[in-house]
Amino acid sequence: MSTQVENYQNGVSLDGAESASPADPFSGDPKDFNYFAVLFYLLLSSMTIREGTVVTQAKQISENAALQEYLNKKNGDINFSILPPDAKTVTIDRIQQINQQKAAMRQVLQNALIIQRQNGQVMMTQASTNVNIMQQDASENSGWLQTLNTIFQVIDQMNGR
C-alpha cells in the first residue's frame, strides 16, 4: 500500500497535516457520512413504496374480479317464473309481478357489474401506469447511481485511494 493511502487512512493529509479519516459509512461523525449510501437508500425506498402501491392495486383488482364473479353468479341464479298452461288471471298477475321483481333485481346486478368492470379497468390502468413509472424510475435511478459511482471513483482517484 502506498504511503499516501496509508497516511490518508490514518488521518494524515497528503501534505502531512492531520485530517479526518474516512469513517464507516453508517457510523462516526456525520460529516463523514456516506452520501452515496444515503442516496441509494432513498432511491431504493422510493421504489419499495411504489412497489407497495402496485401490490395494493393488484389486491384491489383481485377483489374486484371476485366481486364480478359473485355478481355474475347471482345474475345467473335469477330464473324467471313460467306460466302454467291453465293459468288463471290471478296466477298470471302474480307470476308477472314476481318476474318484474326478478327483472328489477337482474337490472340492479347488471348495473353493479358494469360499474365493477369500469372500476376494474381504471384499476388496471392505474396499476399499469405505476408499473411503467417503476420501470422508468429504476432506469433513471440506475443512471444516477452509475453517474455518482463514476464521480466518487474519480474523487477517490484524486484523493489517492
What's the pLDDT tens digit per position in 45-58?
888 888 888 899 99
SS3 track for 18-83: ECCCCCCCCCCCHHHCCHHHHHHHHHHHHHHHHHHHHHHHHHHHHHHHHHHHHHHHHHHHCCCCCC
Instruction: Please tell me the distance from the alpha carbon of residue 108 to that of residue 74, in angstroms, as a whole number.
Output: 11
Q: What is the percent of the chain where pLDDT is above 90? A: 40
- Whole-number mean pLDDT of the chain? 79
The predicted structure's pLDDT at residue 20: 40
Q: What is the pLDDT of residues 115-145, one digit of tens each?
A: 999 999 999 999 999 889 888 888 888 888 8
Task: Find the farthest-apart pair of alpha carbons in the chain and give their distance in angstroms, rounded.
Answer: 115
18 beta partners: 12
Instruction: Please tell me the distance from the alpha carbon of residue 64 to that of residue 140, in angstroms, as a whole number.
Output: 33
Neighbours of 71 (CB within 10 A): 20
